[in-house]
């Protein structure tokens, strides 16, 4: 019997390499694997020693080279598209983010179609929690189908939104979009960038470990290869999350991390005035168990990250614990840590830079206004922290979700469109057909086509609005669906429009 053949992208990255390590034991037995990685010293070190391994092929090339992609798709039955140009690098290079993340996705899908595989090829797309953006308390619980709302200036999220839309509407019979959450592990412990101060103290994330992410990819391939993956898995969007043991707010995470260094107070370490109070991304998931029930991948808790963080500190951990025990030691140790933050604070995306150089659009995005920023207390201990983490404010999706999918009809879509401030212009729809595109008009007069799957399960809406700007304040005034994730966090008069520097149309040209 012919073995299933898997094509994996991004094998040299964090999630990709963990996936490769998890899959290694199956190679040549359950499935064969071909990876496409850039020809770099790093990737040569990682993979040259595996050349000749049964069931494994490495191609040194480029996802933006159509010939390289065509060869890999030709050799495979299933693609794990893990590769991405991620934040914080994507924040500095919006064009590269769109070119790599949207362009590579389009290349793979086009290759499958050109090879006549649109009804047989299986495409696994890795999306991101950043697609739904800022979900600060009290709307910090979320699920698939909530509004797409990438945060201002988050071009990684913008590129992934465009790519996911392309996947869902691709016409492939077998596709899935897995929205990855924050990946904890050694790589997260090494982050030294201004982005760490964009992560709000009251923000939440349901993290997942790099190892569990790799296990999910391995199990997906293994279960599909041996016939135990439920066919109902395909054609849907899922949130990847580590479950209850991986849910934490940022402030509590800092308290645990620095507590392991002997800090009993964070006043000497954290400067609340230079930590954003919104415009990041993250949520606790109401629905991440769905993916776990298919792929059975969860093993790690947040302790895995704390262990990685302590290991990254090395000898500094012992030094910190010693100093923090002596009188005034915490103040001394805190000042040392703060000095390491200063270059990040003053960098291109640094929060002190925004304030001190009066970068008004960023001040509005990350704090609401300078006046709001001025009201933030100087000390961490003076912050009024949110505490009601367990209360769920569920987002209404604007249609009867108790109806079986097979019963969805045109009237349901008309009601859903109205709830989004728009109109469904189509006059016909086959009952239960979630794939065929319908015609809509948004509240701003743009006409577009979208499938019920994209709108209802994906949370997407008007592509022209999405690619043009972040116009969330004005949209919330005319779109009740979107208003649910904007109005609880923003004042009525917050209507600044933030133009976008790049969109997928730049790549399509």
DSSP assignment of 340-394: HHHHHHTSTT-HHHHHHTT-HHHHHHHHS-HHHHHTS-SSGGGS-----TT---P
CB neighbour list of residue 162: distance below 8 Å, 6 or more residues apart: 98, 101, 102, 466, 467, 503, 504
What's the total number of domains in the chain?
3
Same domain membership, residue 268 and residue 356: yes
On whether residue 311 sits in a domain, the answer given is no
Average pLDDT value over all residues in the chain: 96
Rounded to 5 degrees, what angle do the CA atoms 143, 141, 207 make? 85
Q: Is residue 258 part of a domain?
A: no
Handedness of CA 284, 290, 295, 300 (dihedral sign): positive
DSSP H or E run through 16: helix 14-23
Same-domain check for residues 173 and 291: yes
pLDDT at 502: 96
Question: pLDDT tens, 12-58?
Answer: 999 999 999 999 999 999 999 999 999 999 999 999 999 999 999 99
Helices (H), 155-194: 155-168, 186-189
One domain, residues 454 and 376:
no
377 lies in the same domain as 424 = no
- Tokens for 279? 């415009």
Tell whether 351 and 474 lie within a shared domain.
no
| Residue 306 parent element (H or E) | helix 303-313
160 and 107, same domain (yes or no): yes
**Torsion sign over Cα 470, 476, 482, 486:** positive
Residue 467 sits in which domain range?
Answer: 407-508
Q: Six-digit token pair at 205?
A: 């994330």
User: 277: closest CA among 339, 340, 359, 363?
Assistant: 363
Beta carbons within 8 Å of 478's beta carbon, 6+ residues apart:
421, 443, 444
Q: What is the pLDDT along the chain (509 residues), one digit of tens a residue?
A: 689 999 999 999 999 999 999 999 999 999 999 999 999 999 999 999 999 999 999 999 999 999 999 999 999 999 999 999 999 999 999 999 999 999 999 999 999 999 999 999 999 999 999 999 999 999 999 999 999 999 999 999 999 999 999 999 999 999 999 999 999 999 898 889 999 999 999 999 999 999 999 999 999 999 999 999 999 999 999 999 999 999 999 999 999 999 999 999 999 999 999 999 999 999 999 999 999 999 999 999 999 999 999 999 888 888 888 888 988 999 999 999 999 999 999 999 999 999 999 999 999 999 999 999 999 999 999 999 999 999 999 999 999 999 999 999 999 999 999 999 999 999 999 999 999 999 999 999 999 999 999 999 999 999 999 999 999 999 999 999 999 999 999 999 999 999 999 999 998 87
Cα–Cα distance list, 163 to 106, 160, 171, 386, 394 (Å): 7, 5, 14, 34, 26
In a domain, 299, yes or no: yes
Residue 298 within a domain: yes
Whole-number pLDDT of residue 296:
98
- Chain-centroid distance, C-alpha 443: 27
How many C-alpha atoms does 92 have within 13 Å on its Cβ side?
9
Helix (H) or strand (E) holding 333: helix 329-345
Closest CA to 216 of 33, 347, 82: 82
CATH number at residue 285: 3.40.50.720
Residue 473 lies in a domain: yes
- For residue 349, being part of any structural domain is answered with yes
Q: What pLDDT is attached to residue 1?
A: 63
Residue 107 lies in a domain: yes
Q: Of 154, 153, 194, nearest to 362 (Cα)?
A: 153
| Dmax (CA) of the chain | 76
Instruction: Based on the fold, state whether residues 481 and 366 are members of the same structural domain.
Output: no
For residues 435 and 357, state if they share a domain: no
State how far the Cα of 57 lies from the Cα of 20, in Å rounded to an integer: 12
CA 444 – CA 474 distance, rounded (Å): 10
Q: Are residue 328 and residue 219 in the same domain, yes or no?
A: no
**Exposed / middle / buried, residue 106 (Cβ in 10 Å: 0-12, 13-18, 19+):** buried
Residues 137, 200, single domain; the answer is yes
State the Cα–Cα distance between residues 9 and 36, nearest whole angstrom: 6
- Residues 357, 454 within the same domain: no
Query: Strand 498-499 and strand 469-470: pairing?
Result: antiparallel
Shortest CA distance to 435 belongs to which of 419, 462, 458, 417? 458
Rounded Cα distance, 170 and 392, in Å: 34
pLDDT of residue 335: 93
Residues in contact with 252: Cβ distance below 8 Å, sequence separation at least 6, in sequence order: none
What is the spatial distance between Cα 152 and Cα 198, in angstroms, rounded to a whole number? 12
Residue 390 covered by a domain:
no
* 356 and 430 belong to one structural domain: no
């Amino acid at each position: 019997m012919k073995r299933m053949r898997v094509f994996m992208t991004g094998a040299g990255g964090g999630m990709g390499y963990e996936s490769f390590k998890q899959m290694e034991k199956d190679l040549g037995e359950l499935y064969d694997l071909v990876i496409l990685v850039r020809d770099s010293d790093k990737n040569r070190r990682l993979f040259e020693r595996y050349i000749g391994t049964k069931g494994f092929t490495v191609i040194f090339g480029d996802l933006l080279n159509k010939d390289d992609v065509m060869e890999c798709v030709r050799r495979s039955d299933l693609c794990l598209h893990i590769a991405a140009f991620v934040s914080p690098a994507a924040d500095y290079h919006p064009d590269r983010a769109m070119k790599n993340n949207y362009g590579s996705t389009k290349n793979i899908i086009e290759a499958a179609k050109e090879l006549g595989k649109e009804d047989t090829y299986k495409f696994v797309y890795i999306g991101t929690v950043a697609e739904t953006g800022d979900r600060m308390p009290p709307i910090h619980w979320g699920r698939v189908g909530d509004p797409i709302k990438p945060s201002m200036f988050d071009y990684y999220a913008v590129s992934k939104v465009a790519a996911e839309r392309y996947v869902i509407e691709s016409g492939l019979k077998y596709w899935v979009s897995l929205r990855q959450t924050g990946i904890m592990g050694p790589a997260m412990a090494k982050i030294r960038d201004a982005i760490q101060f964009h992560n709000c103290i009251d923000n939440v994330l349901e993290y997942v470990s790099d190892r569990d992410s790799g296990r999910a990819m391995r199990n997906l391939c293994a279960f599909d290869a041996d016939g135990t993956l439920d066919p109902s898995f395909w054609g849907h969007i899922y949130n990847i999350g580590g479950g209850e043991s991986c849910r934490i707010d940022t402030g509590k995470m800092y308290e645990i991390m620095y507590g392991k260094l002997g800090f009993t107070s964070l006043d000497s370490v954290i400067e609340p005035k230079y930590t954003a109070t919104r415009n990041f991304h993250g949520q606790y998931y109401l629905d991440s168990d769905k993916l776990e029930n298919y792929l059975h991948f969860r093993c790690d808790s947040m302790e895995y990250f704390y262990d990685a963080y302590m290991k990254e500190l090395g000898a500094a951990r012992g030094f910190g614990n010693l100093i923090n025990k002596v009188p005034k030691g915490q103040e001394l140790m805190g000042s040392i840590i703060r000095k390491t933050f200063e270059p990040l604070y003053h960098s291109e995306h640094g929060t002190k830079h925004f304030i001190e150089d009066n970068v008004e659009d960023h001040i509005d995005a990350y704090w609401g206004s300078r006046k709001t920023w001025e009201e933030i207390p100087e000390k961490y201990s003076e912050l009024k922290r949110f505490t009601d983490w367990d209360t769920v404010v569920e987002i209404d999706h604007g249609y009867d979700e108790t109806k079986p999918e097979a019963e969805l009809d045109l009237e349901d879509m008309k009601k859903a469109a109205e709830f989004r401030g728009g109109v469904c212009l189509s006059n016909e729809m086959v009952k239960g057909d979630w794939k065929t595109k319908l015609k809509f008009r948004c509240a701003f007069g743009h006409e577009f086509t979208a499938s019920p799957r994209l709108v209802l399960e994906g949370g997407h809406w008007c592509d022209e609005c999405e690619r043009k700007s972040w116009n969330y304040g004005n949209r919330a005034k005319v779109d009740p669906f979107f208003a649910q994730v904007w109005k609880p966090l923003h004042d009525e008069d917050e209507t600044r429009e933030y133009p976008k520097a790049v969109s997928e149309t730049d790549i399509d040209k």
